[in-house]
A and B are shown apart, each in its own frame.
Chain A
């Protein structure tokens, strides 16, 4: 292979047609309140982990919606499961259970159950 001194950039665009919706499907089946999220960010604002790390639960939920499995996996492990995000949610989204179900889904994906 010729060395040109550069490689071709990977696209940043979310190619929705080709992303992996397995976590999303699992979540919609097991925690339907996920559907009511309007991504207002009150969960992130109150998040214990998010105040001192780059964890962003609102963004995690968007990654799930878009099927970005790599990003989901790296985010989902950062939550400390305190449950404040559920407490503040104006639309009754069970954020704490979302984290648990996402972790479940990721384990199932790893063991080829999903």
Chain B
């Protein structure tokens, strides 16, 4: 009989890993808490760095699931996970208990809740939106309007919202917001050619292939402006526009600017589901709440519980590209484990 793998979470990581595991001959079940697969991907219309449609990636993943036989349980809530000898029993509310020889945790991230940055006025000033809200505006098609209903002439993007910020207890960088700011600025400029668009940043972290080129293109071709200074507070004017207050660190002077719409580039946090599963399985977490591998260099994807692996953004912020890579890497680890290859216990000499 085929060995059984249960994948918790049906986002990019869960879907891709399931396809690969199934192709290797394992019997795979995805436990998804929502009523559909795809995770956050379905909320993003166009992806960096090449501005392809998000739906293309979804269809690629779905096609994989069609090719392979993967069992998906939607709307599932896991109540308990028990370790019995060498396998796990997963108790899903209202369902038959699942047995797994290996578990892949792929519970992903939650977007940072921008309400927590009180001084930025999200939820209070109507023309303060998040990068996620802007994607929904893009998805609607038609002319871009601010929440107040006007065609925006000036738009400000705020980087590092909920990232690199001790005040919200998130010390880490969310990796994808810088390039998202560049991408969304270019999209807006395409839709509203006479708009002035500003990105307010601490550092532009253009680390990956083609990111820097996209940044250059946004300046050269689209005339996007970049001001090095972190938002201190935002205020509302009498006509509901937003006053941005930063230090223009390159002139060493405070700067204020009124914009028609302010977009907060919200970062990633370990998802609620990640924390729940970590508690059920006693998984080690970093201070940030993301899952912690047994060794940062050599044991990525390997948890402290034998037979439990993890991949994707439950272990830290990453882009779609790295999510795919990480999912496939975890599959290799799971395969070694189930085939009882002794590769995992190699010796580290100090």
Contact = CB atoms under 8 A, between A and B. Distances in A.
Interface of A: 12-17, 28, 32, 35-39, 58-59, 62-63, 65-66, 68, 91
A91 B253 contact: no
Contacts of A63: 251
B225 interface: yes
Interface in B219-258: 219-220, 223, 225-226, 228, 248, 250-251, 253-258
A13 B256 contact: yes
Contacts of A28: 223
A109 to B, nearest CB: 21
Interface residues of B, number: 17
Nearest to A15: B256
Contacts of A68: 251
Given A58-B250, A62-B250, A65-B225, A14 B220 contact: no
A91 B228 CA distance: 18
Given A12-B253, A62-B251, A17 B228 contact: no
B200 to A, nearest CB: 12
B220 A35 contact: yes
A32 B254 CA distance: 27
Interface SS of A by simple majority: helix
Given A38-B226, A39-B228, A65-B225, A14 B251 contact: yes
Interface string B191-225: 00000000000001000000000001001100101
Nearest to A14: B255
Given A14-B248, A36-B216, A39-B228, A66 B255 contact: yes
A17 B257 contact: yes
A14 B216 CA distance: 26
A65 B49 CA distance: 27
A36 B223 CA distance: 9
Nearest to A91: B216
Contacts of A12: 253-254
Contacts of B256: 13-17
A59 B228 CA distance: 13
A32 B256 CA distance: 26
A36 B220 contact: yes
22 contacts: A12-B253, A12-B254, A13-B253, A13-B255, A13-B256, A14-B253, A14-B255, A15-B256, A16-B256, A17-B256, A35-B223, A36-B219, A36-B220, A37-B219, A38-B219, A38-B226, A39-B250, A62-B250, A63-B251, A65-B225, A66-B248, A66-B255
